Chains A and B, each alone.
Chain A
Amino acid sequence: MLRALERLALRLLTAIDAVGNRLYGSRFNPLYQSGTIVVVLYLTIVATGLWLILFYRVAAPWESVASLTANLWIGNWVRGLHRYASDLAVVATVVHAFRMFAQGRSWGARTLAWSSGGILLVLLCLCGWTGYVLVWDTFGQSLAREGARILDALPILSEPTSRAFTGERPVPGVFFFVTLFAHIGVPLGMGVVFWLHIKRLERPLLLPPRALMWTTIGLLTGVALVFPLPIAPKADAFVLPAAVPADLFFAFWMPMVRGLDAGLALTCLVAAVAALLIVPVATARRGAARPAPSTVDEDICTGCLQCSLDCPYGAIEMIERTSRRSNLVARVDPALCVSCGICAGSCAPMGVGPPGRTGRDQIAHVQEFLAAPVRRAGEVVAVCCDRGAGAYGPALSAEGAAIYAVDCAGNLHTSVIEMLLRGGSSGVLVLACPPRDCWNREGPRWLVERIYHEREAELQARVDRDRVCVVHATAAEREPALAALRTFAVGLSSLSVPTVDRTADIHAVCEPAGAGGRS
């Protein structure tokens, strides 16, 4: 059931990603940058909040905000930016969570990231709730009363919180003080949870590209200036406003729970949060469906550190050993490994990787591929990422390309490219996912580094780069991928006829110069 939901979500995500790529290009596609956009918005909210707090008075909450609202230039646009950034932060957080869910990146080693992300969303909503209550207009009062009604379902408070808003007495100043304290304290707590959120990532990207970042802030500032934020009438316990100007990003739940008994409403809210937090358990792959973590062949490992440097999840550490081969040996922590296979592509002597996907397994696979009777001399091989271009492999085949499927482009060992060319292919077109959409975070990045920038496990200098091309394409970008294939094929036609050399000796081809042979 949940798997079917994941598949459906992935189809939807792929379609809207393609639209985003078309409109903004994969580098600036905001859907790929949802996580980093939240960080930018958080910083914007904190900066504007620090300004707003200078003008806020606990003793006269509505009056102080009203006076701020009346000041278009130094007050209201900052308030508008604060509010719209908060709204967009909710949207971006939900998009980010949806992306992770659809791509099946919510379980196993990613459980901590998912759970902390869920907590961050709850804290963000709590921040919004306190922020609106601080204004103490009719909307703030509605939120406060509804929240208090639900909270009072817990029989633990000595006095029901609803009592503060009945009109029996003025709302005490201490209520606004505590709310303000929470409104400041919760974002600080979010910083700690955010640290947990990215704790298991190596080289986490915190900010989007500058152009996207400033465009986002600029657009929000622009609408804050063009559409000045109004303030609703002051809260009055003796008046029932005909309509309350509600922020649906933070009050979407109110119409749903308003008619419910407080206990039932509380149960629904707790169940919603619980459902969010148990996603890692519900979506976890078990048994044969669970990809095995990487393993290290210690006889092959030269202790070069590269797999440890390239692992996007910090799952590989180098430990000391006593054998003569090297002082260090790689050790994979299965609890942190997501089985992305990037280490297999980073290991020149091919001693590490998930079972069946190590460099040596890939060499064996490419030999089978080349030995297939359907191979044609001079054909173009399209290396397709399973999660991307693999979706339209038949269309690429129809254009004359031979399809070589890989789990992730970052998993691809450069020796495979060399062997494909030596096996008679006229060129190798690698169709990788866009860098910000890699399910394994850094696959396309390391692939390009290995092919063009001599990163360890690099494509050997003897390989003609004109016969290799890396293109980024998602599962929905069939036409651009086909166009890239055609262009590449035209470029190859001007090159000489490739020679065939199928004498593939793994050790001779793949061992870096100077490395010791296998003991």
Chain B
Amino acid sequence: MKSLERAIGMATALLATVGITWTSSVPMSSSPAVALLRLAWTARPERIEDCRPQREEELAKLPAHMRQAVVCTGTTAAYRLEVRRDGAVIADQIVRGGGLRHDRPLYVFRDISLPPGDAAITVRFVRVDAVSEPTASGTAVPADSPRDHRPAAMNDDRRRREDEERIRRQEEAIPSSLSLDRRFHFMAREVILVTYDAERRELVGVERER
């Protein structure tokens, strides 16, 4: 009787071990047979700023390494993402910069399931907030400004670097309006990616290499 029980015990242990191998690789269905339009990009949003030149006496109170000719306060712009398939809106959302203060780069990541087949896809990414013009708001102080308008507490090299930095930030920001109009052939279980090409400063569609 004991040996029979031990044999059953060994058989049970063996079955349990085989059960582990089976449970270790269970086919988990991932998705129905649809295609996916993936919108994914990251970019620096435009700044909405209120800038003003600092006065000499303000600069004088600051340590040398903290002196800036122009100080700005503000936030980043919000954008509307709209996606149409054959003219019908299939996604519409407002996108803001990341982080609790929305001052980090914005990030778009959205998967939209679509039936396989041909479809005309339109993606619009347009700034919602108005951004003050640089010259009107003073975000950039013209390099040829009269010498007496510029703080004497700062040397020319420092001013030049400050201007360059401001211009670089403006150029890095995503354009206020982007769009993509393209016809895609969606195959079942394939993903077509729409992303932002920072070098070309436009939205591009990326398909799987076949």
Residues of A within 8 A of B (CB): 22-25, 30, 80, 83-84, 87-88, 91, 138, 142, 155, 158-160, 162-163, 166-168, 215, 219-220, 222-223, 227, 229-230, 236-249, 251, 254-255
**Contacting A167 at CB < 8 Å: which of B9, B33, B38?**
B38
Besides the contacts A22-B5, A87-B23, A239-B208, what 6 more A-B pairs have beta carbons closer than 8 Å?
A24-B6, A91-B20, A155-B100, A223-B20, A223-B21, A244-B28
Tell whether A243 pairs with B21 under 8 Å between CB atoms, given A166-B109, A166-B193, A215-B13: no
| 6 nearest A-B residue pairs (beta carbon) | A23-B9, A238-B208, A166-B40, A246-B28, A243-B27, A240-B189
Q: Taking the complex as formed, is B26 at the interface, i.e. its CB lies under 8 A from any CB of chain A?
A: yes
Tell whether A239 pairs with B191 under 8 Å between CB atoms, given A23-B12, A166-B38, A166-B109: yes
Question: Which residues of B lie under 8 Å from residue A25 when comparing CB positions?
Answer: 6
Question: Which residues of A lie under 8 Å from residue B40 when comparing CB positions?
Answer: 163, 166-168
Question: Which residues of A lie under 8 Å from residue B90 when comparing CB positions?
Answer: none
Contact B109 A163, beta carbon cutoff 8 Å: yes
Give bound CA distance, A343 to B189, whole Å. Answer: 67
Binary interface encoding of chain B residues 73-108 relative to chain A, with 1 for a CB under 8 A from any of its CBs, else 0: 000000000000000000000000011100011010
Contact B189 A241, beta carbon cutoff 8 Å: yes
Give bound CA distance, A80 to B29, whole Å. Answer: 23
Contact B20 A240, beta carbon cutoff 8 Å: no
19 cross-chain CB contacts under 8 A: A23-B9, A87-B24, A138-B30, A142-B30, A155-B98, A158-B98, A159-B104, A163-B42, A167-B40, A219-B14, A238-B192, A239-B208, A245-B26, A245-B27, A246-B25, A246-B28, A247-B24, A249-B23, A251-B28
Question: Which residues of B lie under 8 Å from residue A241 when comparing CB positions?
Answer: 30, 189
Give bound CA distance, A496 to B47, whole Å. Answer: 103
Q: How far is the CB of A192 from chain B (nearest CB, A)?
A: 28
Contact A243 B6, beta carbon cutoff 8 Å: no
Tell whether A240 pairs with B190 under 8 Å between CB atoms, given A87-B23, A166-B40: yes
Question: Which residues of A lie under 8 Å from residue B107 when comparing CB positions?
Answer: 159-160, 163
Question: Which residues of B lie under 8 Å from residue A83 when comparing CB positions?
Answer: 24
Q: How far is the CB of A77 from chain B (nearest CB, A)?
A: 12
Contact B25 A245, beta carbon cutoff 8 Å: yes
Give bound CA distance, A158 to B99, whole Å. Answer: 7
Q: Which of A222, A229, A241, A255 has the most CB of B within 10 A?
A: A241
Residue of B nearest to A246 (CB): B28
Q: How far is the CB of A221 from chain B (nearest CB, A)?
A: 10
Question: Which residues of B lie under 8 Å from residue A163 when comparing CB positions?
Answer: 40, 42, 107, 109
Contact B191 A238, beta carbon cutoff 8 Å: yes
Q: How far is the CB of A216 from chain B (nearest CB, A)?
A: 8
Question: Which residues of A lie under 8 Å from residue B41 when comparing CB positions?
Answer: 168
Give bound CA distance, A162 to B30, whole Å. Answer: 18
Q: Which of B24, B31, B98 has the most CB of A within 10 A?
A: B24
Tell whether A249 pairs with B42 under 8 Å between CB atoms, given A219-B14, A220-B17, A238-B207: no
Tell whether A242 pairs with B30 under 8 Å between CB atoms, given A160-B98, A162-B109, A166-B109: yes
Q: Taking the complex as formed, is B8 at the interface, i.e. its CB lies under 8 A from any CB of chain A?
A: yes
